[in-house]
A and B are shown apart, each in its own frame.
Chain A
Amino acid sequence: MSPEMANAQQIATELMETPPSSAVSLQMSVDNYLEVIRGVIDLFANKKGMETIYVTATISSDQIKRVLEALDIDTSKIYFVDCISHIMMGASTAQLDDHTTVVESPTMLENLMLKVEYLIRRSQTKDKLVVIDSINSLAIHNNNWILSEFLHILVSGLRSREAYTIILSVEEHSTPDLNNMVSLVCDHGIRAGRQVE
Chain B
Amino acid sequence: MAQKTPERERCATGIEGLDTILYGGIPRSNTILLTGSCGTGKTSLALEFLIHGAAKGENSLFISVTEDSEKLLANIIPYRFFDRSLIKSGKLVFIDLPIMYERLGLTKSELSMEEIELLVSAIADIAQELGAKRIVVDSITSVCYKLKTSEKIRDFILKLGKSLSDLNCTSMLVGEVAANATAYSSFGVEEAISDGIILMANMERRGDLLRTLQVIKMRGTSHSRAKYVLDLTPMGVLLVPLLKGGSTG
Contacts and interface: CB of A to CB of B under 8 A. Distances in A.
B240 A104 contact: no
A109 B241 CA distance: 11
Contact of A149 (B230, B231, B243): B243
B210 A110 contact: yes
A150 B243 contact: yes
Contacts of B231: 111, 114-115, 118
A149 B242 CA distance: 10
A108 interface: yes
B6 interface: no
Query: What is the interface of chain A mostly: helix, strand, loop, or mixed?
Result: helix
Contacts, number: 56
Given A105-B208, A118-B238, A122-B235, A111 B245 contact: no
A153 B61 CA distance: 37
Interface residues of A, number: 22
Interface string B228-249: 0111011100111111111100
Contacts of A104: 208
A122 B79 CA distance: 11
Nearest to B246: A145
A115 B245 CA distance: 20
A142 B208 CA distance: 13
A143 interface: yes
Contacts of A113: 240
B15 to A, nearest CB: 12
A132 to B, nearest CB: 15
Given A107-B206, A122-B80, 13 more contacts: A108-B210, A110-B210, A111-B210, A111-B229, A114-B238, A117-B240, A118-B233, A145-B246, A146-B243, A146-B245, A150-B243, A153-B243, A157-B240
Top 4 A-B residue pairs of the complex, sorted by shortest distance between their CB atoms: A146-B245, A145-B246, A110-B229, A114-B231
